[in-house]
A and B are shown apart, each in its own frame.
Chain A
Amino acid sequence: MKKIFTRPEALKDAPNHYCPGCGHGIAHRLIAEIVDETGIRERVIGVAPVGCAVVAYDYWNFDCSEAAHGRALAVATAIKRLRPQNIVFTYQGDGDLAAIGTNETIHAANRGENLTVIFINNAIYGMTGGQMAPTTLVGQKTATTPSGREGKGHGYPLKISEILSLLPGVCYVERVSFQDPQHVLKAKAAIKQAFLNQIKGQGFSLVEILSPCPTYWGMSPKDALDWTRDVMQKEFPLGKIK
């Protein structure tokens, strides 16, 4: 019997701290699989965010750096400019990339840095206890919007992918989801494309993943996946944006 699916070498055999049904585990595995498939494990450098994935470097079996909250793309820019032979990617959530790190994100994209960005959009702040994020949907209840987010006063969901796609320095932007196994495979293809763009030197690539947060959405893991499909995608449509 042939083994057709197993843990990728680039993912350490360690239990992760994520809640049951969290999308981070799937995203970590997809990145590890792509690192193995493209044979870049000796030269890839990941930059971990602040947020739920703050200790992502404990789970990946390749070099990683940590960045201050929101500054992953500034750190990644420095690493890539000093070590252009390395493949550098950042792994950031919506609180990190779209709130405190909006400035770093927009300017790194505008400079057309040859980097890969994996953007985990779960429409909420996970690590700090389920507060409203810039990507929280209108009407969505969170710890800081107990009666639902209102557009006027709280603002509307920030569409980082669409904003970045307008910049000439950006090479590739795609939004994917983990709603079912087929979409997980599509997400993997998009992340692989983002890594290949960097390997070919084509510039800034970003993949936004609609990822479930069952704990702070207050749903079962299965319902959370369905919610990404039925509710989140109305605000954040899937597909290649640029």
Chain B
Amino acid sequence: MAKVIINRERCKGCFLCVSVCPKRLIKKGSKLNKRGSNFVEIDPAGVCVGCARCAIICPDCCIEVYK
């Protein structure tokens, strides 16, 4: 199973990753970071396939993918 790690402080909340995840595992979070952005969160119960589409579209390089 693959794993995605999101840099919460770097996320600006553009939600492009949310729109491209084929498994719909990334969601708009409920908390704000120091920047004041609504960062994204991963659904811990979901099964990530490690396609890295979220990381490829992220303009701020906040996402690391492990497989």
List residues of A whose CB falls within 8 A of some B CB. Answer: 1-7, 11, 15-16, 18-26, 29, 178, 180-181, 184-185, 214, 220-222, 225
Looking across the interface, which residue of chain B has its beta carbon closest to that of A2?
A: B67
Given contacts A15-B10, A20-B14, A20-B37, contact A185 B66 (CB under 8 A): no
Digitize B47-66: 1 where CB-to-A-CB distance is under 8 Å, 0 elsewhere.
Answer: 00010110111111101111
Given contacts A4-B65, A6-B64, A185-B56, contact A21 B14 (CB under 8 A): yes
Looking across the interface, which residue of chain B has its beta carbon closest to that of A14?
A: B10
List residues of chain B with CB within 8 A of the CB of A18: 59-60
Given contacts A180-B20, A181-B20, contact A29 B61 (CB under 8 A): yes
Number of interface residues of B (CB under 8 A): 27
CB proximity of B8 to chain A, nearest CB, Å? 12
Main secondary structure of the interface of B (DSSP, over half): loop
Given contacts A21-B59, A181-B53, A185-B56, contact A5 B14 (CB under 8 A): no
Looking across the interface, which residue of chain A has its beta carbon closest to that of B57?
A: A181
* Docked-complex contact A1 and B16, CB < 8 angstroms: no
Query: What number of residue pairs across chains A and B have CB atoms under 8 A from each other?
Result: 75
Question: 8 Å CB contacts to A: which residues of B1-42?
Answer: 2-3, 10, 12-16, 19-20, 35, 37
* Docked-complex contact B3 and A25, CB < 8 angstroms: no
CB proximity of A171 to chain B, nearest CB, Å? 28
CB proximity of A131 to chain B, nearest CB, Å? 23
Q: Which of B15, B50, B61 contacts A221 (CB 8 A)?
A: B15
CB proximity of A185 to chain B, nearest CB, Å? 7
* Docked-complex contact A25 and B59, CB < 8 angstroms: yes
Given contacts A221-B15, A222-B16, contact A3 B59 (CB under 8 A): no
* Docked-complex contact A20 and B12, CB < 8 angstroms: yes
Instruction: Show 11 A/B contacts (Cβ-Cβ < 8 Å), sorted by A.
Output: A4-B67, A6-B65, A15-B10, A15-B60, A18-B60, A20-B13, A25-B60, A178-B57, A181-B20, A181-B57, A214-B14
The 8 closest A-B pairs by CB, nearest first: A25-B59, A21-B14, A20-B14, A20-B12, A5-B65, A221-B14, A1-B66, A181-B53
- Chain B CB count within 10 A is highest, among A23, A26, A220, for A26
Expressed in whole angstroms, the Cα–Cα distance for A6 and B53 within the complex equals 13
